[in-house]
Amino acid sequence: MLTSPGSQIWLPDVLYSGRLLRDSSEKVERGVFSSRSIRMAKARTGHWLSILAFSLILLKTEGFYVGITYVDSAVAKGAVCLDGSPPAYHMDKGFGAGINNWLVHIEGGGWCNNASTCLARRDNRLGSSKQMVKQIAFSGILSNKQKFNPDFYNWNKIKVRYCDGASFTGDVEAVDPKTNLHYRGARVFLAVIEDLMAKGMKNAANAVLSGCSAGGLTAILHCDKFRALLPVSTKVKCFADAGYFINAKDVSGAAHIEGFYSEVVATHGSAKNLPPSCTSSLRPGLCFFPQNMAQQIKTPLFIINAAYDSWQIKNILAPGVADPHGTWHYCKLDIKDCSSSQLEAMQDFRVQFLSAIKGLIGSPSKGMFINSCYAHCQTEMQETWLRDDSPVLGKTTIAKAVGDWYYDRSPFQKIDCAYPCDSTCHNRLMDWTFVRKAWDKWISTSIGSSGEPLKAALLINYDPTGPSRLLSTIAEQEGIRAKPIEVNQFVDFIKRNNLQSESFFIGQNQYLVTSIHDGWFCARCMNTSHPAGEGAIVMQTTSFILVALYDGSIGSASRAMVDVDQFAWQLGRKNL
């Protein structure tokens, strides 16, 4: 969740952050805690230590950190991220029998369709290698443990960071001097592959191009190109995880995603880097959809996708622009909360998805694992890739299906029955019913115009594995009417990790951070008209950022802190 402050542990599917409470005497000196909060802090220290210890154990067994590599030589070739910084990737070297095998996995991150949306990405990790964390954890298909990744554990495994906003298809020579935006994704892809070739991939016996979400689309669009860059003797196949985005109308009847993709292609100059077999007969924007070009891919391709892909439901079927009154809000958060009419629309979406892949069915060079989970990206997370309780089709996990298909042990083309027949699906630890009930109970006693510890609170749902900043980020709010764009700006402030030198806005109020702790920080309003002042407490949990606003002095802060910590603790018990 929060990139700062505090320690973070990336586990399969979610980010666990140990919110350790420091010595209470230190907080007394700073006037942060009341005596009541001190007692609560002491009681909970053991709880958070237990979570941290558990997280460390899981990290050790199911994931491991890998450092970043910058391709500095690419800059001279103009192969750069949106902001002009060099491309980057993380590499875990192969060993044993896998020393000459290579798995190149592309990170996801959505797309930007014009100068404004690309500018919004330019100064964060989706547009600049300067803003990328120096280490990320590998798990699932990137795991180095045979138990968790039996067919690829000892391969050279690379995760390519995504920073161009067009699935590595753009190539515009001109750079806008006003925005300094570089649309050079196609050059970045080539530069990264050339760098890996120099490090040994030119001798690869086996090679895979894979990716998640926008990275999965990259694996489809560049599959044949990847094959062509490697020696003829190399066995090459491609995996696309949650990258099969379909051209479906939204609930209002508008062709929203078709227009969006056309703008992406036009902005980035992508047409010349899309498969000619498609662009020779269709408009370039339509060739961004796998259903219009995947059938012509000559290199073997395996599709891993949920028929009810959660990103596609949220952003293709029911995007905010098609749902101005927020009717789909809770349904998009949890499929169990969908009405009968919403479920009917989602079932129709599944029918359209299956129609979009029908051209691949029966092809000896194509494989597919199409389950009926409400999910997005299933290969990077250990719990969905391979674990005792992982999703299965025909009693086969994703890891086994992909491995058997790659090594030609057996073909695999299976499509799940319709929701809700599959009992093996994961809810990604996001029990929205629990969250909403806990939230409603909490705000009834903690938030009010007078007499309560808080005047407003905002619960931000921020998923670091999500494919796009277009995802709804406001999970709940009370006493404030925050807008998604404002919340995204606040999240960007958190990501930049300059808490001590920057201010941030919540609504019309500007805040300055006054104290930073492990997993949370305090701030004071700089432009308040309130005589006693106004403050904010920002706290991280596993899956949320909780922003709590209060009126008053430090004494008010201590009351607010107790209530905020109480709610965060409830979420922590559920790893939420």
Q: What value does the mean pLDDT of the chain take?
A: 85
Percent of residues in the chain assigned helix, strand, coil, to nearest 5: 40, 20, 40
Q: Which of 213, 310, 372, 390 is catalytic?
A: 213
**CA-CA distances (angstroms) from residue 431 to 204, 333, 370, 539?**
44, 9, 24, 19
Residue 381 pLDDT > 90: no
The average pLDDT across 358-367 equals 97
Q: Which of 182, 268, 376, 517 is catalytic?
A: 376
Which of residues 303 and 490 earns the better pLDDT score?
303
Alpha-carbon dihedral sign for residues 29, 33, 34, 37: negative
DSSP readout, 325-383?
Answer: T-TTHHHHH-GGG--HHHHHHHHHHHHHHHHHHGGGTT-TTEEEEEE--S-S--SSSHH
Does the annotation mark 348 as catalytic?
no
**CA-CA distances (angstroms) from residue 194 to 70, 198, 207, 486?**
13, 6, 14, 40
Does the annotation mark 309 as catalytic?
yes
Q: What pLDDT, on the 0 to 100 scale, is given for residue 574? A: 62
Which of residues 425 and 3 earns the better pLDDT score?
425
- 270 and 166 in contact (C-beta within 8 Å)? yes
Does the annotation mark 416 as catalytic?
no
The average pLDDT across 406-420 equals 97
Look up residue 140 and give its amino acid.
G
Helix (H, G, I), strand (E, B) or coil at 458: strand
**Pick from 58-67, 145-154, 326-335, 443-452: least confident:** 58-67
The model's pLDDT over 188-215, given as tens digits with 9 standing for 90+, comes to: 999 999 999 999 999 999 999 999 999 9
The average pLDDT across 326-347 equals 90
Q: What pLDDT, on the 0 to 100 scale, is given for residue 345? A: 98
Q: What pLDDT, on the 0 to 100 scale, is given for residue 36? A: 38
The model's pLDDT over 400-409, given as tens digits with 9 standing for 90+, comes to: 999 999 999 9
What region does 363 belong to: left with phi over 0, alpha with psi -120 to 50, or beta?
A: beta
Q: What pLDDT, on the 0 to 100 scale, is given for residue 433? A: 67
Q: What pLDDT, on the 0 to 100 scale, is given for residue 351? A: 98
Which of residues 12 and 555 earns the better pLDDT score?
555
Q: Which of 309, 416, 563, 565 is catalytic?
A: 309
The fraction of the chain above a pLDDT of 90, given in percent, is: 61
Query: Can you give the length of the chain in residues?
Result: 576
Contacts of 561 (CB under 8 A, 6+ apart): 32, 33, 37, 537
- 94 and 102 in contact (C-beta within 8 Å)? yes
**Pick from 74-83, 108-117, 175-184, 457-466: least confident:** 457-466
The average pLDDT across 456-480 equals 67
Pick from 189, 135, 194: which is nearest to 162 by CA? Answer: 189
Contacts of 289 (CB under 8 A, 6+ apart): 245, 246, 247, 261, 356
Residue 176 pLDDT > 90: no
Residue 305 pLDDT > 90: yes
Contacts of 482 (CB under 8 A, 6+ apart): 458, 474, 506, 507
